[in-house]
Structure 1
Amino acid sequence: MSDDITETSQTVAAGQLRAFIERIERLEEEKKTIADDIGEVYAEAKGTGFDVPAIRQIVALRRKNPAERQEAETILDLYMAALGMV
């Protein structure tokens, strides 16, 4: 009886593990597709004359809340001043 329970538990655990792995694989494939799509948008922007590094920087800044963005800008200004760049 206990062997049946152990075997059933192992079968259930194996099924759950397989389901997790398959979900991760599916999401990784979706992530790759999305990354490819984003790359195409950047290429399109570059093709129309926009500066891709500037666009990437703006996208990164927009992800931050205003306080985080202000802190990053303050640190950048401080470092640039220390190096005599401003």
Structure 2
Amino acid sequence: MDGWMDGWMDGWMDGWMDGWMDGWMDGWMDGWMDGWMDGWMDGWMDGKTDGRTDGHTDRQTDSQIDRIHEQLLIDIWKKSIQIFQRKYRI
């Protein structure tokens, strides 16, 4: 029974997890989060850089925004996985 359960659970959970994580999470992260992050962070950064005359270029600001986007997405991804693992006790 243990061997059967292990085999079934491994196959089912791996397939389900891969499909769910790849489909739903990637789609959600790419779609909603990218759109939200672009809008919110661009607005925030524009507000922070309005009227600045200390030599920063748009290219430097874009690079800063990209780093902030990347770190926030990583943090949200990690938190989503933690919530999922707690819920399903994986």
When normalised by structure 1's length, the TM-score is 0.38
Q: Which has the higher contact order (CA 8 A, sep 6+)?
A: 2
When normalised by structure 2's length, the TM-score is 0.37
